[in-house]
């Protein structure tokens, strides 16, 4: 059963799917495997190495801001919107700590009166950690 139920969610999934094809995420994932002759691991994915530019372009696609409030640089989308995006991200095998980043955003958006939470939300929306 598909998670996306609205035209906007289907369009979001199509946009992520096309991004994943252009970004050749399957090649990145293969390069991250132990013994592939390249760096591997989460730190390489986010900080430096073969997947860092993919993380930045995923942030440019605004994936990390989908479920975040507009006041923090997010899109103000629903949890359903976020679930539709996550379904496509996992189907496309996008590397990196995508799920923990999205969950952190959901937790932090529940603290609207905290300046430190709002600062962290702005960073997450931009693809930071």
**How do residues 21-50 score in pLDDT, each as one tens digit?**
998 888 877 877 777 655 444 444 455 655
45 burial type by CB count under 10 A (0-12 exposed, 13-18 middle, 19+ buried):
buried
Residue 2 within a domain: no
Low-confidence ranges of the chain (pLDDT < 50): 39-45
CATH number of the domain residue 120 falls in: 1.10.540
pTM confidence score:
0.79
Helices (H), 1-129: 7-23, 25-32, 42-46, 52-60, 79-91, 98-109, 115-125
Residue 31 within a domain: yes
Residue 81 within a domain: yes
Q: Who contacts 25 (Cβ-Cβ below 8 Å, separation ≥6)?
A: 54, 92, 93, 94, 95
Q: How many distinct structural domains can be found in the chain?
A: 1
Structural domain of 32? 7-125
Q: Who contacts 15 (Cβ-Cβ below 8 Å, separation ≥6)?
A: 61
Predicted pLDDT of residue 28: 77
């Amino acid at each position: 059963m598909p998670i996306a139920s609205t035209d906007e969610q289907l369009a979001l999934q199509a946009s992520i799917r096309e991004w994943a094809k252009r970004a050749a995420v399957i090649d990145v994932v293969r390069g991250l495997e132990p013994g592939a002759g390249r760096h591997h691991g989460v730190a390489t994915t986010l900080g430096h190495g073969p997947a860092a530019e993919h993380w930045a372009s995923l942030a440019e696609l605004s994936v990390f801001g989908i479920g975040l409030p507009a006041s923090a640089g997010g899109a103000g989308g629903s949890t359903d919107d976020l679930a539709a995006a996550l379904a496509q991200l996992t189907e496309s095998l996008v590397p990196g700590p995508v799920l923990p980043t999205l969950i952190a955003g959901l937790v932090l958006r529940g603290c609207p009166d905290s300046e430190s939470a709002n600062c962290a939300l702005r960073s997450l929306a931009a693809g930071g950690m």
